[in-house]
Amino acid sequence: MSIHPTYNLIWAVVAEPEITTTRVRNGDFLIMASDGLWDCLTSEEAVGLVGLWLSNNHDAVYTSQPMRNVGKKSFDDTNVYQRNELPLKVPLDRDGKDDKTLFYAWWKAKKQFVNWDDSPAAHLARNALGGADGDLTEALISMTSPRARRYRFVVPTRKKYSYC
């Protein structure tokens, strides 16, 4: 494949990594996610959702012995949580709006969260893709290519990456 001679392309890779260190303490966690997750959830919501998940799974996570299956075997939390019920204050933006994310407004869905999953990654993915609106979550997950790329983002699963 050749490049047309009138195009002047400059290809560059910056090889200067930025390295930082952070002291990690008991209770600290890191959320590594693509921009697709952040199009559905604010940073505060994601941290609040992990806090909500940890409140339901505290005994399984904070043990003296490492565990293979982190999550509880049976979930008894059937509550539906609003944004203001997360264990973290979700601030309003300059315009007084409480939600700056793209997809929920596009889907015309209200953000309501659930705490059913046995892993924090699945918990974040479910709540990013509809949360308490099970019909929306099921529709988004069952959508096939090429339409799926317009409505979903890539979510890591336990065994492989799948489109969600």
pLDDT in tens, 112-150: 999 988 888 889 999 999 999 999 999 888 888 777 777
Q: Which residue has the tokens 């609040």?
A: 48
Give 161 or 105, the one with higher predicted confidence. Answer: 105
Q: Which residue has the tokens 């997360």?
A: 86
| Domain map (residue ranges) of the chain | 35-163
b/e 78-90 (16+ beta carbons within 10 angstroms → b) = eeebebeebebeb
| pLDDT value, residue 115 | 92
Residue 163 dihedral angles phi and psi, to the nearest 5°: -85, 125
> What is the pLDDT confidence band of residue 158, given thresholds at 50, 70 and 90?
very low
